[in-house]
Amino acid sequence: MAAEFENVDIWVGFSRSEQSLQEYLHENYDDENPETPVSCFAADQGQQFCDHDFVSGSFLSMPGDFVTVCERLPFGKSWAMAANAALDRSQMESPNTVLLAFGKIISEPRSISGINQKLSYLGRFDCDPNCDTLSRRPVELPDYVHLQILSDVPLLAADSSTKTIRIDQKGMILGCGGSSDEHPYLDLEASGLDTKIAACQVRIYRDQFHQWILEDLADNDETRINGRPFNLLKIFPGHDQPFSIGPIDFRWLSRGPIH
């Protein structure tokens, strides 16, 4: 594993919601104003750029024991105890957000106090990228997930009508009338509904930390999380997470289909 993962900066605290955290970390490159910070996170750290491939933000919808939570995060077994000791010293209770930045990409890390995020900087910790973080994979990190189709529409997977779609490590692109060389493709055009869904609307895949990600690709208000547009953002869906693409409602299942 690359030397970039041999240390980690850690922030803990509170986010208003999982979506607000993803919006906070979302990268936006402005060609007309190249000096504009690429994200709210970069701006709050006093930087124009930081490589978000080395940033991982986790929203804990049901906060539990902090060490147990951290051990489920990238390489967490190597830094969880030290981070927990720092958290104890801070006297913070039940944070719902853990933010990681690897490889010293933030030159002068600082705490964050905003409308939607209040995160305390815990410190920089040694990290072992060869540790066995994933040997006991929690349910949040399965080798596959399912999408349950909640709407009464005919969709095809493997040339047969289905209400539950299994997505393995190859990931999947969802859209209307398109195709993909990178991932298997689910054509929502088969629903027969009049939609504005793009050819490549949503991508589902696993990142370098083995976390499942749902990403909007189209910026057209057709992808919605909890009823709100989710344009060009990413989310780490939890089990039973509802979302919609156009008029089609789905449920994300990390633990297998509901019969």
pLDDT digits (tens, 9 = 90+) for 122-145: 999 999 887 754 433 333 456 789
Is the per-residue pLDDT at 121 higher than 90?
yes
User: How do residues 15-70 score in pLDDT, each as one tens digit?
Assistant: 988 888 888 988 887 777 778 888 999 999 999 888 877 888 888 765 567 888 88
Q: Is pLDDT at 257 greater than 70 in this prediction?
A: no
Residue 114's alpha-carbon distances to 20, 87, 180, in angstroms, are 11, 20, 39
Average pLDDT of every residue of the chain: 83
| 122 or 192, higher pLDDT | 122
What string of DSSP letters covers 145-199?
Answer: EEEEE-SS--EEETTEEESEEEE-TT-EEEESS---SSS-EEEGGGG-------T
Q: Which helix (H) or strand (E) is 83 found in, with range?
A: helix 80-90
Residues 6+ apart with CB under 8 A from 143: 168, 169
The encoded tokens of residue 100 equal: 């990681």
Res. 184: pLDDT tops 50: yes
Tell me the pLDDT band of 254, cut-offs 50, 70 and 90.
Answer: confident
Q: Which amino acid is present at 25?
A: L
Q: Flag whether pLDDT at 97 surpasses 80.
A: yes
Compute, in degrees rounded to 10, the torsion defined by CA atoms 235, 148, 207, 184.
-130
